Amino acid sequence: MELWAQAKQAMQAEVDQMNYSSNKAAAAKRVAVKSNAKLYKNESWDLVDRDGVADGEDFLKKLDKKTLPDSLQHKTTEELKKIIEEKKVQRGTCKKEIETVNAQREDYIANERKRMQQKARTLH
C-alpha cells in the first residue's frame, strides 16, 4: 500500500478508535455512516470502494503490486478482481446487517424517549 494510502487508513483507524473509546453513541453513528456507500467512499485507497469506478480495470492493470499487502502482491489481475468481488459481496452483507441493527437502534431510542416523556408527564 502506498504511503499516502497507509496514512489515510491509519488516520481513519485513529478516528474510529477515538469514537469507540469515548462515546458509544458517536461510535454507533460512525459505523452507520461508514456503512452507507452514498456517504462514505474511499476510492483513493480502498480497492473494494474503487471497484466500479470508471478506470477500475485500468487501475488494476497499472497498480504497483508492491503497494499491496503481502498476501496480494503475487496475485494476477484476474485473481485480484475475483478477491475484490468476494470482498465486495462480504462488505455488502455487513452493510445490510449494520443498516438493520442501526434501524433497530434508532427505533429503540425513539421508543425509549417516548416512554420517558410519558413517564415524566405522569409525574407532574
Average confidence (pLDDT) over 12-24: 80
Quote the pLDDT of residue 54.
63
Measure the CA angle with vertex 68, ends 62 and 74; round to 5°.
80
Give CA 64 to chain center in angstroms.
24
**How many structural domains comprise the chain?**
1
Residues 40 and 34 sit within 8 Å (Cβ to Cβ) = yes
Find where cell 488516520 sits.
Answer: 11
Tell me, what DSSP letter sits at residue 70?
A: G
Query: 7 is in which domain, residue-wise?
Result: 3-123
The 10s digit of each residue's pLDDT in 57-78 is 678 888 888 888 889 999 998 9
The 10s digit of each residue's pLDDT in 83-92 is 999 999 999 9
In percent, the amount of the chain with pLDDT more than 70 equals 90
